[in-house]
Each structure stands twice: as structure tokens, then as C-alpha cells.
Structure 1
Amino acid sequence: MPPWALGGAVVATLVKGTAAGIYPAMRAARVSPTVAPAAV
């Protein structure tokens, strides 16, 4: 396996993981703490 392919896979994984974590966190940050338990 070429080193560039391994590096690309690592970078792609980090980008996808970061995006998958940031999106829900930004949505949760907009919800009032008093309303959040009712939304679950």
C-alpha cells in the first residue's frame, strides 16, 4: 500500500469524524437546557 494512500485515508477519517461530531454538537448548543429533556 503506498504511503500517500494511507495518509489520505487517515486525513479523510479525521475530517469525517470531526464533521460527524461538530454538527450534532452545534445543534445541541442551540437548544435551551430546560427544553432539551423534552426533546429526547
Structure 2
Amino acid sequence: MRVNHTVFTMLPTCMVHRQTMSCSGAGGITVVLNVLK
């Protein structure tokens, strides 16, 4: 569940930085998952 908690924690930040290319919908989640790996 740690992964899910991290994703939910990152979502607000992602929404704030919508202009960031790394944070475009599923793309942002993919980046987070890659970082966790």
C-alpha cells in the first residue's frame, strides 16, 4: 500500500504542476512508479 499512498500524495503536487510534461495524467503515475523502482 506504500506505493498507493505515495501516488495519492503525489497527485495533489501533480495537479498543481499541470504544466509539467512529466505530470500528464498516466504519465505522471508512470514516472512515480519508475522512481520507486
The TM-score, its normalising length taken from structure 2, stands at: 0.37
Greater relative CO (CA pairs within 8 A, separation 6+): 2
The TM-score, its normalising length taken from structure 1, stands at: 0.36
